[in-house]
Structure 1
C-alpha cells in the first residue's frame, strides 16, 4: 500500500512537471503580445502628439510674427496720421502766409495807386515836392522806413512761405514712404494668413491622429484633468471674480484663480482682453488686476521680473517657449506640471500639460 502511494505521488509530480510548460508558453506569449501592442500604441500616440505639438508651435510662431507685423502696421498708421495732421497744419500755414503776403502787397499797391492818383509817380517825385531841407529829410526818412518795412515784411513772408512749402514736400514724401511701408506690412500679413490656412489643414489631420490614441493613452489629458480639479479647489477658496483693476491682493492661488475665470476665451492677435486675448495680452491683463505692471509683448515680458529655474517653478510664474532669439509664446504656470495660456489662432484659453519640447525659461513677477 505504501509503495502504491509513493508511486502515485511520483506519477502526479511527473504529470505536473510535464504539463506546466504546455500552459505557460501561451500565457507568456499573450502577455508579451499585449505589452508589445501597448508599446506600439504608446509610440504611435507619442508620434501623433509630437506632430500636433510641432504644428501648434509653428502656428504660435506665426501668430507671434503676425503680432509683430500688426504692431508695425499700427505704428505706421499712427505715423501716417501724425504726418497727415502736419501736412494739414502746413497747408493752413501756407494759406495764412499767402494771405499775409497778399495783404501786404495790396497795401503796397494801394500806396502806389494813391501816389499815382495824387499826381505822384514815384518816391523821387515825393522827394522833389518837399518844401525845404527839413521837409526833404523828413520825407527821406519816412520813405526809407516804408521801403524797409515793405521789403522786410514781404521778404520774411516769402522766406516763410518757401520754408513751409519745402516742409510740405518733405512731409508728402514721408507720407508716401509710410504708405508703402503699410502696404508692405499688409502684404506680409496676407502671406502669413495663407500659410496659417495651410497649417490649419495639418492641425485637423494631426488632431484626428491624436484622437485615435487619446482614448487608450492620455497621460497629458490626465495631467490636465487633475490640474483642473486642483484649480477648482483654489477657485472655491479664492475671492470671487470682479472686473476691478489693481485692487486685489496678489498670491499664487489668487492669480491662478483669477486667470482661470477666462478659460474658453478666444485667442485673437493683438487682443488684450477681456473678450479676446493673445498670449502676452492675457498675462498682462491678469497681472494688471493685482496692480502689477508688466510689459505688453512676449519679447519684452521675458525681461520682466526675475529668472526662475524650471525645477523651482511656482504657480503664477510666467513661462516662455521658443528660443533666445525668438521667444514666441508665454503662459502662466499653475502647478502640477501644467500651465494656462492663450494658445493660438482658432483656439481658446486653456490649461495644457507642460510637456512640449520648446520650453525656454520662466520669470517671476510680483
Structure 2
C-alpha cells in the first residue's frame, strides 16, 4: 500500500513538471515574439524617421537653391532695368547729336548756297573780284575767317558723327547684352518652376511618411516636450518678451530663446524675414535684431559670423548649421536640452526639434 502511494505521488509530480514546462514554453515563446516584434517596430520607426529626415534635408536644400535662384533672378532684373535705362539714354543722346549735326550742316550748306547765288564759284573768285588793294585785303581777311569757321564746322561735324557712330555701336552691344540677360532670366525661372515641382513631390512624400508613423512612439518627442517646459520656465523667470518690431537692450541667451519661442507655429516662406513668415536665416536675423545684434541675411554669410563653438560646448542662443561646410543650407538656434528652434522648410512651421541630424556642420556664438 505504501509503495502504491509513493508511486502515485511520483507520477503526479512528473505530470505536473511536464505540464509546467508545456505551459512555460508557450509563455516564453510569446514573450520572445513580442520582444522581436517590438524591436522590429523600433527599427522600422527609426528607418522611417531617418527617411523623413533625409526627405526634409532634401527639401531644405531645394529651399536654399530656390532662394539663391530668386536672388539671382532679382539681380538680373536689376541689370535688365539698368541696361534698359542706358539704352534709352543712349538713344536720346544719339537723337540730340544727330539733330545738332543736321543744324550745323544746314548752316554750312546755306552759306555755300548764298556764295554761289552771288556769282562766286569759289573763295578765289571772291578775291579776284575785289576793287582794289584795300578791298582785296578786306576780302582776304573775311575769306580767311570763313575758311577757318568752315574748317571748324567740318571738324566738329566729323567728331560728332564719329561719336554718334560709337554710340550706335555701344547701343547695339547693350541691346545684345539685354537679350542675353532676358534669356538668362527666362532660363532661371524655368529651372525654378521645375525645382518647385520636385520640391512639391518631396513635401507630399514627407507628409505621407509623417502621417504613416504619427501613431508610433517617438522617443524624440519626450525630449521636445521637456525642452518646451524648460523654455516656459525661462519665460516665467524673465520679463515678458512679446513679439515687437522694436529692439530690446536686455540681452541674454535665455532672453533670446524666450523671444524666439514667441514665433512657434509661424509658417516658413522663401526669403521671408518676419514677422508673419520666415525662412531659416531670416528668422535668426529677426530674433537677434530685436536685441540689437546685427546678422547678415543668408545662411552662407551667417556661418562666418561670431565665434566658433564646439558641439560639446553649445549654449542656448548659439546658431547651429546643417549641410556641408561648403554648402550650409540650413540654420537654427540651440535652445538647450539637445534641442533647437528652427524655421525648417516649405510646408512646415517654426518648431522645436531634437538635435539628432547627421548633417550637423558647426555652431557660431553671436553676442
For residues 206-226 of structure 1, the C-alpha deviation after alignment (integer angstroms, 9 at most, x for no partner) is 11222131xxx2211121122
Q: Which is further off, 135-144 or 316-325?
A: 135-144
2:43 maps to 43
Shift of 1:140: 3.4
1:293 maps to 294
Structure 2: distance between partners of 1:244 and 1:120: 85
Q: Which structure 2 segments of 5+ residues have no match?
A: 1-5
Structure 2: distance between partners of 1:80 and 1:134: 62
Structure 2: distance between partners of 1:251 and 1:21: 66
Partners of 1:322 and 1:360 within 8 A in 2: yes
Residue 54 in 1 paired to residue 54 in 2?
A: yes
Shift of 1:93: 0.8
For residues 144-173 of structure 1, the C-alpha deviation after alignment (integer angstroms, 9 at most, x for no partner) is 221122112201211110111111011011
Structure 1: distance between partners of 2:123 and 2:261: 89
For residues 77-118 of structure 1, the C-alpha deviation after alignment (integer angstroms, 9 at most, x for no partner) is 111111111111111111111111112112222323333444
1:356 maps to 357
Residue 334 in 1 paired to residue 359 in 2?
A: no
For residues 8-47 of structure 1, the C-alpha deviation after alignment (integer angstroms, 9 at most, x for no partner) is xxx9xx89x9698677656555544443333222212111
Q: Which is further off, 284-293 or 236-245?
A: 236-245
1:218 maps to 218
Shift of 1:254: 1.6
1:190 maps to 193
Residue 128 in 1 paired to residue 125 in 2?
A: no
Root-mean-square deviation (CA), in Å?
Answer: 2.5
Which of residues 150, 170, 174 in structure 2 aligns to 1:171? 174
Partners of 2:241 and 2:255 within 8 A in 1: no
Q: Relative to structure 1, is the Cα distance of residues 122 and 199 closer, same or farther in structure 2, using a 3 angstrom cutoff?
A: same
Q: Relative to structure 1, is the Cα distance of residues 143 and 352 closer, same or farther in structure 2, using a 3 angstrom cutoff?
A: same
2:249 maps to 248
2:113 maps to 113
1:156 maps to 159
Shift of 1:197: 2.3
1:229 maps to 229
Shift of 1:246: 4.3
Q: Which is further off, 342-351 or 247-256?
A: 247-256
Residue 145 in 1 paired to residue 136 in 2?
A: no
Structure 1: distance between partners of 2:291 and 2:201: 40
For residues 224-259 of structure 1, the C-alpha deviation after alignment (integer angstroms, 9 at most, x for no partner) is 122122222323323432533444332111211222
Q: Which is further off, 56-65 or 223-232?
A: 223-232
Structure 1: distance between partners of 2:260 and 2:59: 23
Structure 1: distance between partners of 2:189 and 2:221: 39
Q: Relative to structure 1, is the Cα distance of residues 197 and 139 closer, same or farther in structure 2, using a 3 angstrom cutoff?
A: same
Structure 1: distance between partners of 2:261 and 2:215: 29
Shift of 1:363: 0.9
Structure 2: distance between partners of 1:52 and 1:129: 105
2:273 maps to 272
TM, length-normalised to structure 1: 0.88
For residues 46-91 of structure 1, the C-alpha deviation after alignment (integer angstroms, 9 at most, x for no partner) is 1111111111111111111111111111111111111111111111
TM, length-normalised to structure 2: 0.88
Q: Which structure 1 segments of 5+ residues have no match?
A: 1-6
Partners of 2:310 and 2:363 within 8 A in 1: yes
Q: Which is further off, 49-58 or 192-201?
A: 192-201
2:3 maps to none
Residue 68 in 1 paired to residue 68 in 2?
A: yes
Q: Relative to structure 1, is the Cα distance of residues 227 and 111 closer, same or farther in structure 2, using a 3 angstrom cutoff?
A: same
SS of the residue corresponding to residue 263 of structure 2 reads coil
1:3 maps to none
Shift of 1:137: 3.5
